[in-house]
Structure 1
Amino acid sequence: MPFTPIHLGPGLAFKAIGGRHFSFMVFGGAQVLMDIEPLVGILRGWPVLHGYTHTVLGALLIGLLAGAIGRPISETCLRWLRLPHAPFTWPASFAGGLIGTYSHVLLDAIMHSDMHPAWPLSAANPLLRWISVDELHLLCLGLGLAGLAAMAVRAAWASLR
């Protein structure tokens, strides 16, 4: 199913590690951009849902697009919602976009048999079923919970100072 929220778990872990140097909003937007091709494929009945966008090259292009449009869109949303935030930088936006797309390819390559992540260099998918789909989902959930816990501890620690 496109637009799965399970991809956000690793994003929370990256946010906990990267802090203000990583945009979780752009990461989330990159996940949506990656799954436009599978959504169109589902609606049109394509036999391959994870094509060009789910390759290393496709992830690069979509990650760069996400980074370029993510900063102004995110800043506008945060301003409309009047949410306080650290200064939003281009490096944080591009980190969110590129880590978002490459992690998406990695996760989808493990579970989708129609993926060829190294295309056009190779049609192989050595990551397919590297771990079970259930284990993959548990890993993503665990990373998300660990990221949330780390951010909560960091926020609590900062409030004590």
Structure 2
Amino acid sequence: MVFETAPFTPFHLGPGALFKAIGGRHVSFMVFGGAQVLMDIEPLMGIIQGKPILHGATHTLAGALLIGLAAALVGKPVSTWVLRLLAIAHAPLTWRASFAGALLGTFSHVVLDAAMHSDINPWRPIANGNGLLGIVPIGSLHILCVGLGCVGAVVIAMRAWHDGKA
């Protein structure tokens, strides 16, 4: 299956839609998405180089924290610029929303990937092992991510519809 070798999976965006639905203007979905891409640069490079271990330091909680901080700092100005360029109406993107989107993105990424990839050690360097591996079958994990995305999209659409009627 293509998603088993593709480093950039759209399934991670499902939980992001739910986080956006819950957090509203306090969570940036664009920064969340950017954080997903940054998380998977290491596996992409591993695929290109033919390395046996694809998920190293970036797929630890410490790595997720560092990538999340970088994603938040870069994501706010880039997202603001893109939204302005495309003339998309939106609430002002705050630093709080940028950091929330980035950190929710990177930490959820580690958890989701840890459930399906045997080369992840989320607690490294404190501890080795991956207690999340196989906790949910991969197919069920994908369905869960799509389902969370659908729930998030429905909540966001209902909120927009309600705000338009008010």
How big is the shift at 1:122? 1.1
Does 2:36 match 1:31? Answer: yes
In structure 2, the partner of 1:58 is 63
TM-score by length of 1: 0.99
Q: What does the per-residue CA deviation read over 1:29-59, in whole Å, with 9 as the maximum and x for residues that have no partner?
A: 0000000000000000111000000000000
Q: What does the per-residue CA deviation read over 1:66-104, in whole Å, with 9 as the maximum and x for residues that have no partner?
A: 000000000000111111110110000000100000000
Alignment of 1:48-127 (within 5 A): 48-127=53-132
Instruction: Name which of 131, 134, 137 aligns with 1:132.
Output: 137
In structure 2, the partner of 1:142 is 147
SS at match of 1:111: coil
SS at match of 1:86: coil
Equivalenced residue count is 161
CA RMSD of aligned residues (A): 0.5
SS at match of 1:48: coil
In structure 1, the partner of 2:160 is 155
Rounded to whole Å, the distance in 1 between the matches of 2:45 and 2:83 is 30
Gap runs ≥5 in structure 2: 1-5
Q: What does the per-residue CA deviation read over 1:116-138, in whole Å, with 9 as the maximum and x for residues that have no partner?
A: 00000111100000010011001
Rounded to whole Å, the distance in 1 between the matches of 2:113 and 2:62 is 15
Rounded to whole Å, the distance in 1 between the matches of 2:21 and 2:140 is 22
Regions of 4+ moved over 6 Å: none
SS at match of 2:163: helix
Percent identical: 60
Rounded to whole Å, the distance in 2 between the matches of 1:79 and 1:158 is 22
How big is the shift at 1:159? 1.3
